[in-house]
Structure 1
Amino acid sequence: MQYALAEQALMEAIAIWEKLRVGLEDREAYRVSLFETQNITYEILQQVRIALKKYPEALEVAEQGRSRAFLALLASKLPRNDLPQYAEPPVKVQQLQQIAREQNLTIVSYGLISGSAIADYQPMRGSSTLYVWVISAKGEISFQNLNLESWETENGLLLTETIQKLQERLSRSSGTIRDFPVSLPRKPLSAAERDQSPDELKHLYQLLIQPIETFLPKDPNAQVVFIPHKALALVPFAALREQSGKYLIEKHTISYAPSIQSLRFTQKLAKLPKGSTNLIIGNPEGDLPALLNAEQEAQNIASLLKTRAMIGQAATKINLLQQISQANIIHLAMHGVFNDIDGLESALAFSSQSKLTAKEILKLKLQANLVVLSACNTAQGKITGDGVIGLARSFILAGAPSVIVSLWYVPDAETSQLMVDFYKNMLNNRLNRQAQHQSYAHALRRSMLTTMINYPHPRNWAAFGLIGAL
């Protein structure tokens, strides 16, 4: 195949696509829809450049094909004198290396390409391609073409099937969970299911982490940011487990971002003026099952932050909307619901009739440093080539640079302990100004490790992840 000629033709096609998106910066749904039809061009160009052994240049096009609607709208939230207005020039690898160096991060970016885009056939298994790039905190780039076909054959399941099976296993709990509607079948857990970590966590470690272990930092306090792609957005990287039994969170401090470029924008967002109050909500009183631990969680966190929590009858959507725009920290311990067909209909539920949807959150103007969604499935939504359309994305676009969200149906009691520990860790970091590790990601890691002692199964401590600024 004439890869050099193909590369040139694809670059010209992408230039045309990007001109078509001009003028749609404030119309996210249109940009996402348009990009979905264009995404195959970016994927084929990745494959062509990798065939040419142009690995850094392949990362450029992978990043250029990520979260463009999200970045355009996010840039529109920033003052023009703070950052140049967002445009769609070709991404340069030097920009990505600079982000890693400036923020002292190791960045792990995955690319999951569906189908054999440049082949004449598609095998029954291994029809997808999985790439991974690692940018060290010094800006060095490493690349691996992961052997997905061999892994799927050995595993007996496709990658997407494995992730779905893992989600189902981690969602099963023996106690009250923070989901709505409460429709998930609840079979009693056997002793083995209560105690044994799912095998899928080791299988996914073997595929996603083992080939890049040597490129990851040795210091567990060094920050590693994962840029998952497509179905990988549903993988709990913190709980991936090596053969020795050690979880990834025991070895690394972890956070997530929809793209490498978004780290630059959320860091700028974090530097804007912030609110002076804190908004804590727990266990709204309505027709949904009571979450007594969420109520106690809200009261304990409010005490730590020296404020009052809105619980029970006071925890209403109206009261939230009256206070949310002035809040510096927003903590919502309640029922959650995700919509994987229309991600903007994912919501936080006060009752069966009163919900705050992702679509409504998009319209807010927040001054928050941090939003914590202590509810079920708040990291989920509609998975697109532009990222996950759901609650986390909406809160960032509304002005919050850092959002903590969950990947499955979280248990009420265990989540309460994890969240209170998180705020204790965060406040201890603030008091100890000499502390070297003061980020939200560090505080979340320590709370996971503490919760793991009392509740060792990963369903109890690994659901939550930090998205955005650290």
Structure 2
Amino acid sequence: MTKSWFVYGALLWSILGSAVPQVGCAQVPAAELGAALSAARQRYEQGWSLYRQKAIPAALVEFEQALRQFRELGDLPGQILTLKTLRNLYLDQGESAKGDAYEAQANQLLALRPAERVGPPQALDYFIQSVSLLREASNPYKAGGTTAITAGQLRQETDSLSQSLNQINTAFQVMTQARAAQSNLNIALMAQQAGRLSEALAYMETALAVVEDIRSHILVSESRTAYFATVQGYYELYIDLLMQQHRQQPRSGYDQRALAATERYRARTLLELLAEARVDIRQGISPQLRGRERQLQTELNALEQQHLRQGGLAAEAERQYSTLLQEYQGLKAQIRSTSPNYAALTYPQPLDTAALQTSLADDTLLLVYFLGTKGSHLWAVASRGITAYELPSRALIEQKVEALRRRILDPRERAATTSGEAQDLAAILLKPVADKLGKQRLVVIPDGHLHLLPFGLLPVGPTGEPLLRQHEVTVAPSITVVQHLRAQAAQRRPAGRRLAVVADPVFSVQDDRVRVSEKPPAVLPTALGEAQNRGYRWDRLPFTRQEAQAITALLPADDRKVVTDFTANRTLAVGQELQNYQILHFATHGFVDTERPEQSGLVLSLVDEQGRPLDGYLKLNDLFNLNFNANLVVLSACQTGLGSLVQGEGLVGLTRGFMHAGVPRVVASLWRVDDEATAELMTRFYQKLFREQQRPAVALRLAQMEVAQIPRWQAPYYWAGFALQGEWQ
């Protein structure tokens, strides 16, 4: 069962209330019911997967099948969720009549009185599992149990009645809180429509206080992130209300309150992760918990390896993975709840607007973007003032970003100009603030699909030159996060050596470097084909070796280290050998798993000298358990700057992972980059860094400008994809 389903279940049941089994509900054994519900949910999740791949007809088939199964089982939340999804999908396709029909069916179910709401015998069980994910309490219920609540009667057929009652009490506490937040949100919307903005703000502040309280009890970061994504609308409405007030009372500071709310909303989870990374929460916990954690990690890792080798998991393995992941999340919560160090942990607070301004030098301009459904916002923040601007809707901006990326990445148009699409975006994102750009250093705090945008490419000024020709451009998750990383780096003992380069790993037993007389296929042909279709194909990158040699030649032998071939492996990456280097450079493949962001990572050697398979994937979860001493990581690999876009969190990917490991700045790519052009770009980058003593942001800018002048690499695809994220100083 997926995390998204659990979070959805908790939120939906908090609105619907308890489900009451009625005559006519599916009368099947509990174990069969659980399997049937799991199959229906998998249909729904498959529909979403196909929808994200733009396979709309196939997605519709899956959603319709899921709806039929939910109806047969009498599962009300599943029906409502699927009906709402079908409604949105048809509206997106311009078929409003079909969309309205599904909306009407969903509203009929929502209008049922509690006594008429029909749910499966385990309805409360699934609700409690949902709440358990939010609260991270261990789930005591098994498939054989049957739960029912009717007219104040409770019957739980397990051996742990006291624990069941505690769980149910917790469930209804969260349900009550969620209802309170939703009620305040609804009243705020009505007050906004009536033009009573002060009242609307007051109700939204009450609603957000409830949301924050629920969130504060979620112990595991992945669940906090998932929950936070579901309540983005609360923060969006609050910020919109503040900006409405600003338009009416421009001198009352509402724009600064909106900016502070944006920073708070954006920085919270990553700040908490950074704080937790510095604490050993496992110190003082029981050996049994440690042992079970290691066992679960081993089992999950084996399935993840299978997923990466084959490009997916069979249905039974997928179910096993979901079950293990759920148990692992619950175990992590249990570890935190029993850890003395975790209990004593204090979290840094997001900066207010005055502190934001103080953090900026006079030559630095901060551009903070917030994308909204009805309209978006931009704040230009300098040491001497803050100015707010209104922008178009999220949908329009994201459409423009996708159009530009398509033009850049399409091989048939790679040599063509991108001026049309880039000019459209520049007019939206930069023209409003053009009079403040000057020669300032720009720090961009993006939102949504703006994380995927190469800002340095956008044309500015009367000549329409790319932004990076006139400005140093850095991207940051939030200023508070950068300040926190800066403070951490200042407290560390500097690493003794300058540079470690990891390049040209061995991905396949077919590689000429493997010393075996007979070379069998690395994986079964069918599995290999499926993996390649999903994008998991690791061809050798021959220019990464040249890249490594050219870079390391810039430094004396005792100040650098180059690791290639079989030794460019995961054991090296997670060990202590790289701790004494100021800069870590990885020249290899990167990969993004949008379904499971924790599986995104870098590909290192997958076989040893004899062709035996190795675990060569350095994944996001690995980075969360590391602590590097480097002040810069360069990911000279395919799409290493990407990740899973999570509402309210931005990109959850490798950049965040390295920041979590203590690295204040990361250079990474926004798309699959050309091997040879990247080698040239990186060589020039390090020449600026070492020989000319430039700061990383300046060195990258100068290298990109130079590569853009080489005739065969003038197209933005070759040079515009890399960005420096994090600390700009």
Structure 1 residue 292: Cα displacement: 1.6
Residue 105 of structure 1 aligns with which residue?
364
1:404 aligns with 2:687: no
Residue 574 of structure 2 aligns with which residue?
321
Q: Deviations over 1:236-282 (max 9, x none)?
A: 10111247330010111000111121121122133122332432011
Residue 255 of structure 1 aligns with which residue?
474
| 1:238-249 correspondence runs (5 A) | 238-242=456-460, 244-249=463-468
**Residue in structure 1 matching 2:453, options 215, 235, 242:** 235
Residue 365 of structure 1 aligns with which residue?
627
Residue 180 of structure 1 aligns with which residue?
none
Structure 1 residue 112: Cα displacement: 0.3
1:55 aligns with 2:260: no
**Does structure 2 retain, via aligned residues, the 8 Å contact 1:171–1:410?**
no
**Residue in structure 2 matching 1:289, options 531, 536, 539:** 539
Residue 117 of structure 1 aligns with which residue?
none
**Does structure 2 retain, via aligned residues, the 8 Å contact 1:67–1:387?**
no
Q: Deviations over 1:414-466 (max 9, x none)?
A: 11111111111111343xxxxxxx42111111111111111221111110111
Which one-letter code corresponds to 1:321 in the other structure?
V
Structure 1 residue 325: Cα displacement: 3.2
Q: How far apart, CA to CA, are the structure 2 residues paired with 1:147 and 1:162? A: 11
Which one-letter code corresponds to 2:695 in the other structure?
S
Matched position secondary structure for 2:561? coil
1:167 aligns with 2:405: yes
Cα–Cα, structure 1 residues 37 and 147, in superposed 2: closer, same or farther, change >3 Å? closer
Higher RCO (C-alpha under 8 Å, 6+ residues apart): 1
Structure 1 residue 147: Cα displacement: 3.7
Q: How far apart, CA to CA, are the structure 1 residues paired with 2:387 and 2:466? A: 23
**Does structure 2 retain, via aligned residues, the 8 Å contact 1:226–1:256?**
yes
Structure 1 residue 197: Cα displacement: 2.8
Larger helix percent: 2
Q: How far apart, CA to CA, are the structure 1 residues paired with 2:594 and 2:634? A: 21
Q: Deviations over 1:396-415 (max 9, x none)?
A: 00111111111001111111
Q: How far apart, CA to CA, are the structure 2 residues paired with 1:402 and 1:248? A: 21
Which one-letter code corresponds to 2:432 in the other structure?
P
Which one-letter code corresponds to 1:133 in the other structure?
W
Structure 1 residue 131: Cα displacement: 0.6
| 1:441-456 correspondence runs (5 A) | 441-454=697-710, 455-456=713-714
Residue 224 of structure 1 aligns with which residue?
442
Which one-letter code corresponds to 1:171 in the other structure?
L
Q: Deviations over 1:301-339 (max 9, x none)?
A: 122233231122332222333323333211001111112
Residue 303 of structure 1 aligns with which residue?
553
Q: How far apart, CA to CA, are the structure 2 residues paired with 1:399 and 1:316? A: 21
Unaligned runs of 5+ in 2: 1-194, 247-253, 280-344, 509-537, 607-614
Matched position secondary structure for 1:238? helix
Structure 1 residue 21: Cα displacement: 3.1
| 1:66-465 correspondence runs (5 A) | 66-77=266-277, 85-88=346-349, 92-101=352-361, 105-114=364-373, 128-136=374-382, 138-148=383-393, 158-173=396-411, 189=412, 193-197=414-418, 199-216=420-437, 218-219=438-439, 222-242=440-460, 244-271=463-490, 272-277=492-497, 278-287=499-508, 288-306=538-556, 307-322=560-575, 323-350=577-604, 354-384=616-646, 385-430=648-693, 438-454=694-710, 455-465=713-723
**Residue in structure 2 matching 1:46, options 233, 239, 255:** 239
**Does structure 2 retain, via aligned residues, the 8 Å contact 1:274–1:328?**
yes
Matched position secondary structure for 1:308? strand
Q: How far apart, CA to CA, are the structure 2 residues paired with 1:325 and 1:34? A: 35
Q: Deviations over 1:322-376 (max 9, x none)?
A: 3233332110011111122222211111256621111111111111110000011
Moved more, 16-25 or 452-461: 16-25
Residue 35 of structure 1 aligns with which residue?
228
Q: How far apart, CA to CA, are the structure 2 residues paired with 1:369 and 1:283? A: 23
Structure 1 residue 195: Cα displacement: 4.2
Aligned length, in residue pairs: 416
Moved more, 282-291 or 194-203: 194-203
Residue 336 of structure 2 aligns with which residue?
none
Structure 1 residue 172: Cα displacement: 4.1
Which one-letter code corresponds to 1:140 in the other structure?
G
Residue 6 of structure 1 aligns with which residue?
200
Residue 212 of structure 2 aligns with which residue?
18
Which one-letter code corresponds to 1:42 in the other structure?
Y
Matched position secondary structure for 1:446? helix
Q: How far apart, CA to CA, are the structure 2 residues paired with 1:321 and 1:45? A: 42
Matched position secondary structure for 1:304? coil
Q: How far apart, CA to CA, are the structure 1 residues paired with 2:233 and 2:355? A: 24
Larger strand percent: 1
Which one-letter code corresponds to 1:373 in the other structure?
L
Which one-letter code corresponds to 2:228 in the other structure?
F
Report the TM-score when normalising by structure 2: 0.54
Structure 1 residue 13: Cα displacement: 2.1
Which one-letter code corresponds to 1:51 in the other structure?
Q
Which one-letter code corresponds to 1:71 in the other structure?
L
Between the aligned residues of both structures, percent identity stands at 27
Which one-letter code corresponds to 1:63 in the other structure?
E
Residue 469 of structure 1 aligns with which residue?
727
**Does structure 2 retain, via aligned residues, the 8 Å contact 1:401–1:469?**
yes
Structure 1 residue 77: Cα displacement: 4.2
Matched position secondary structure for 1:400? coil
Structure 1 residue 198: Cα displacement: 5.2
**Does structure 1 retain, via aligned residues, the 8 Å contact 2:573–2:618?**
no
Matched position secondary structure for 2:704? helix
Structure number with greater Rg is 2
Matched position secondary structure for 1:467? strand
Q: How far apart, CA to CA, are the structure 1 residues paired with 2:233 and 2:348? A: 21
**Does structure 1 retain, via aligned residues, the 8 Å contact 2:259–2:353?**
yes
Q: Deviations over 1:122-156 (max 9, x none)?
A: xxxxxx421100012x231011101449xx8xxxx
**Does structure 2 retain, via aligned residues, the 8 Å contact 1:299–1:308?**
no
Report the TM-score when normalising by structure 1: 0.83
Q: How far apart, CA to CA, are the structure 2 residues paired with 1:21 and 1:274? A: 37
Cα–Cα, structure 1 residues 66 and 421, in superposed 2: closer, same or farther, change >3 Å? same
Q: How far apart, CA to CA, are the structure 2 residues paired with 1:461 and 1:93? A: 35
